[in-house]
Amino acid sequence: MANILILGVKIPFVHGGQDVLVGTLQRELKKRGHAVDLVELPHSVMPKERLLSQAALWRALELEEFGGAKVDLIIATKFPSYYARHKRKSIWLVHQHRAIYDLFGSRYSDFSDDPRDEALRRKLMDGDRQVIGESAFVSGISQNVVRRLEQYNGIKGETLYPPLPLAGRYRSADFQPYILSVSRLCSIKRVDMLIKAMPIVHNFVKLKIVGTPDEPGIMDYFKNEIAKHHLWDRVEFLGRVDDEALLDLYANALAVYYAPHNEDYGYVTLEAFASGKALVTAHDSGGVLEFAKHEENSLVLEPTSDAIGHGINRLAADPDLAKRLGARGMEFIQSSGLGDAGWDQVVGGLLSPLGKEQ
């Protein structure tokens, strides 16, 4: 059995898919008898010049041995944790710093045409290529993430989908008339698109939003939209909820909304399917579309409030459609290996450097 360190990147006061991923990986490695611990450093994306020193801090860590116990393997996840050095490094890439890659030039990136920003972008690209390239095993959490790595950095990797975090506990129940949204509250998750759709959605359909804000001003923006359209009685912010409450919310939803821009992976997609619920998403939602198929288990729509609103109305007006899509989603989960059994493949890949000479 091996001594393994999982390297996690922590944004203080924010809880999201990354936290779920490292937590479940730690659990699964321990189940298999390994000694596992989590190393996390706090991360901030602003000001962006700080990205260099944060990457450097990871690079400066000595991770070979602690108290006489050699560390056999480190598993890095998200930027900049993969800057860490070790003779056996596996990467299960959640995402790189997307503002310099697929989001560059968009409203989701803060890189301007200042020569210093370009210098920063180039340093980070060069650094990524070097430190990811030195890894013994490279994988990503979805085909989308792996494809980005190959296209922008020329590095090939394997796709290892994270299995469902609460596998075996999801359940389905009769609909209550609400749409569920589960995500961090920030622009790229596009919860605003859903809120703005509500004025054209049938009045009896409500919106429940699970998640906490991690972008300045975002809650003011949402509240302005709600006030503008008099949606106070129809939109509810639930913040962070515990696992049981989340399972209940999934189980009783009419449908689940998850339409971020070019998502890396999206646990929510699979959680919706595992709960037998139709997913409402968009055709530019990236990793979500590796599972969501239009009119099969989801509605994959134009990324506009109008299209989202009409899509929800279809489900509200035709509960049989919602049931059918949800049932197909559940069938997909059952046949996909993304329940508990999926961990064998993930662990096998990530631990593969252990068998090799360094």
Partner 1 sequence: MREAKQSEAKPRVAWFSLLPVGATNADSLSANFSANTLPWLREHFEIELFHNSFETYQDYPTYHYLTAIERQRERPFDLVFYQLEDSKACGFIRIHLGLMPGLVLFYNFILSDDGPEPILNSAWQETVEKFHGKRSEWPDRLAEHKKESRYALREAGLALVALFSSEKDHADFKRLAKKRLAGPSEQLSFYLPFPIAPFPNRGACSASRVAEPLTLLFCGKPRIEYRAHKVLEALRALGSKVKLRWLIDASEEAQCLRLLNEFEIGNVELLSGRSPERWSQLVEQGGVAVHLLFSVFGQVFPYLQISMSAGLPCFVSDFGGSEYLPENSVYRISPGESEATQLTLALERILREPSLRENLCARSFALENHLAQNVAHEMVLAFKRAQPIFSELRGRWEKFEAAAQVALREEALSLVGPDAEQQGFIAQVFRDLKW
Residues that bind partner 1 (CB under 8 A): 47, 49-50, 52-53, 55-57, 59-60, 83, 101, 104-107, 109, 111-120, 122-123, 125-127, 130-131, 151-152
How far is the C-alpha of 258 from the C-alpha of 256, rounded, in Å? Answer: 6
How far is the C-alpha of 138 from the C-alpha of 99, rounded, in Å? Answer: 21
Name the 3-class secondary structure at 85.
Answer: coil
Closer Cβ to partner 1, 113 or 233, answer by number: 113
Closer Cβ to partner 1, 56 or 245, answer by number: 56
Closer Cβ to partner 1, 117 or 248, answer by number: 117
Candidates 136, 135, 123; CA nearest to 52 is: 123
Closer Cβ to partner 1, 120 or 330, answer by number: 120
Closer Cβ to partner 1, 12 or 154, answer by number: 154
The owner of tokens 């991923």 is 21
Closer Cβ to partner 1, 151 or 334, answer by number: 151
CB of 58 to partner 1, least distance (A): 9
Name the 3-class secondary structure at 166.
Answer: coil
Closer Cβ to partner 1, 34 or 148, answer by number: 148
CB of 68 to partner 1, least distance (A): 26
CB of 46 to partner 1, least distance (A): 11
CB of 280 to partner 1, least distance (A): 25
Question: Count of CB atoms within 10 A of residue 310's CB?
Answer: 16
CB of 340 to partner 1, least distance (A): 36
CB of 106 to partner 1, least distance (A): 6
At 255, list the tokens: 């449908």
Closer Cβ to partner 1, 106 or 334, answer by number: 106
Question: Cβ(275)–Cβ(246) under 8 Å?
Answer: no
Instruction: Mark out the alpha helices in the chain (DSSP H runs).
Output: 17-31, 50-60, 115-133, 143-153, 191-197, 218-228, 243-252, 267-274, 305-317, 319-336, 342-350
Phi, psi of 146, rounded to the nearest 5 degrees: -65, -40
Burial of 249 (0-12, 13-18, 19+ CB in 10 A): buried
CB of 255 to partner 1, least distance (A): 30
Closer Cβ to partner 1, 41 or 167, answer by number: 41
CB of 32 to partner 1, least distance (A): 34
Single-letter residue type at 192: D
Question: Cβ(170)–Cβ(271) under 8 Å?
Answer: yes
How far is the C-alpha of 79 from the C-alpha of 171, rounded, in Å? Answer: 34
Residues 6+ apart with CB under 8 A from 356: 136
CB of 143 to partner 1, least distance (A): 14
First vs last Cα of the chain: how many Å apart?
18
